[in-house]
Structure 1
Amino acid sequence: MTTGAQIRKMVKPLLERHDDLAMVGRFMVVKPIHHLRRGVYIDYCRTPRMFDPRTVVDILIPAKDPGSLGLGDFLTDPGIGYWDSTNPDAVERFFSLLEKKILPKLRSTTTFDQYQELAAYYRATAGYYDRQRFVEMLIATAKGDFELALSILEPQQDKQRYLTTIAPSFYPALLARDRIEIAKVLHEWEALAVQKCKLEKFWEPTPFPLELEGA
């Protein structure tokens, strides 16, 4: 199977052409990191030399297993399927696909609204489901729409219990519309997510929409 070292060697020319890309393990991250994790995860295959990439767009709240990749598509080599890391032509096709189609889309996806548009696309075209109602609640909270967040969360007692285990103050703060406490929890979650994914040096902490004037 392809190793992490082989993948990093393979993508080095691409990283040299784009200063907003970096490798963290098998994850090619698009910098900088704000509220979304964006990039391409280059997975190994059982077949030696081959690799299996997929795009990644995910929110960073709450912190979860780095292996949870959020929204994305598998990228296949036309007519072949998996990509051959030792075939220069295949590698160049992979780079071309990234540069012409994939990276522009990832770079332009920077906000919670754009994430929701992407999620809606997956639901409409592929029946994609990624715990979406829970994610909608989190994004509504981050945007300061507490009424929407509560309308989603109040019927879901299992999610309330889950939130209590990871941040006991979150649900009471949401009920109280306590922006300061909610923002505090969101920033703590995001910082922990960044740490778990080893993205600290690419992270630029920024206010959540609920903290901005007029939210």
Structure 2
Amino acid sequence: MTTAAQMKLLAQSFMGRHTDFVFHRRALVRLPIRHILVSFEFDRSSLPEEIRTKCGASLMCCPPPWSGGGVGHTLDRASGFRDRPNFVAEFTEELERANREVLVRFQTLQDVMDYPPIPFPGSEMDCITRSTLLATLGRFEEAARLLAPWIPGQRGWLETDEGIIRKHYRKGSKAWQRQQKSHDIIAEHLANVEKLHDLMVAGKPRPIAALLHDWEAIGARSHRIERYWEPSPFPFELA
């Protein structure tokens, strides 16, 4: 696995030309950070010389306990083995290109919404992220309609999962604890999504804003970027 220190050294040339980026937890993060996290991320690999790079933008206020979701691209020319001939130059050139052609397009929440769908092997926005993004833009009815069919489906899945755990795992065992922890995390996420959905159906902008601000603070703590995060009003609060 390429270490964070090795990645930071590899990114020095790019950072020297772009002082709005900081190296943070195996990522190059663009400042300032308000409602979206724009970054280059360097995924871990089991091979010591390998680097896997992607870039994109994620929403800061996704429903907890998950605090990520958005759009992104895998950067093939900035991925591979760092001992490959000319890799350092290709890596830096690809960061420059992606910053110039992709990341520059992510300035606001609306920019993320307007970004075209990304085919495999990119990352497309999931239903929950899209509905939360719609909520930040004040499109409450549209967001609620998007969530309406997802919520009962997820609730049904949780009920099925609960039955499987009860049937196949001895309560209190390590395997049961692992399965139950995973189940509880998904249940917590569903409860938060339902809370947002109910507020949007009721058409209550102030409670919606308060909830999204709370989630954004949780997201900042999850990413450990509190010192970089700048709380600010959502677009519908300024309307």
TM-score tier after normalising by the smaller chain length = 0.7 to 0.9
**Deviation of the 1:74 alpha carbon:** 1.6
Shift of 1:135: 2.5
Structure 1 residues 13 and 33: CA distance shift in structure 2, 3 A: same
Deviation at 1:30, TM superposition (A): 1.2
- Tell me the equivalent position of 1:82: 80
Contact 1:164 1:170 in 2 (8 A): no
- The counterpart of 2:197, out of the listed 171, 179, 184, is 171
After superposition, the Cα gap between the structure-2 partners of 1:95 and 1:166, relative to the gap in structure 1 and judged at 3 Å, is same
The correspondence of residues 111-126 of structure 1 with structure 2, limited to 5 A, is 111-118=108-115, 120-122=116-118, 125-126=119-120
Q: Decide which of 137, 144, 147 is 1:150's aligned counterpart.
A: 144
Paired residue type of 1:141: A
CA distance in 1, matches of 2:22, 2:31: 8
RMSD, aligned α-carbons: 2.8
* Change in CA separation of 1:209 and 1:3 when aligned onto 2, cut-off 3 Å: same
- Cα deviation digits, residues 23-78 of structure 1 (max 9, x gap): 11111111111211111111233333221111132112224546x56422221238
Give TM-score, length-normalised by structure 1: 0.81
**Residue 3 of structure 1 aligns with which residue?**
3
Q: Does 1:204 align with 2:230?
A: yes
Query: 1:71 is aligned with what amino acid?
Result: V
Equivalent residue for 1:132, pick from 126, 137, 150: 126
8 Å CA contact 1:20–1:30 kept in 2: the answer is yes
Contact 1:83 1:91 in 2 (8 A): no
Partners in 1 of 2:91 and 2:122 — Cα distance? 25
**Equivalent residue pairs, number:** 205
Larger Rg computed on CA atoms: 2
Segment of structure 1 superposing worse, 182-191 or 28-37: 28-37
* Residue 197 of structure 1: how far off its partner (Å): 0.5
Q: In the superposition, relative to structure 1, how do residues 88 and 126 fare at CA in structure 2: closer, same or farther (>3 Å)?
A: closer
Task: Give the share of equivalent positions with the same residue, in percent.
Answer: 23
Shift of 1:182: 0.3
Distance 1:96 1:164, change over 3 A: closer
Which residue of structure 2 aligns with residue 13 of structure 1?
13
CA distance in 2, matches of 1:107, 1:207: 22
Q: Aligned equivalents of 1:143 and 1:26: distance in 2?
A: 30
In the alignment, is residue 45 of structure 1 matched against residue 51 of structure 2? no
> Against the structure 1 CA distance between its residues 88 and 16, is the aligned structure 2 distance closer, same or farther, given a 3 Å change threshold?
farther
Aligned twin of 1:97: 94
CA contact (8 A) 2:69 2:129 kept: no
The alpha carbon displacement at 1:18 in A equals 1.3
Change (3 A) 1:46 1:128: closer
Q: Is 1:185 paired with 2:211?
A: yes
- CA distance 1:87–1:142, change in 2 (3 Å): same
Which residue is equivalent to 1:141? Answer: 135
- Which residue does 2:173 correspond to in 1? none
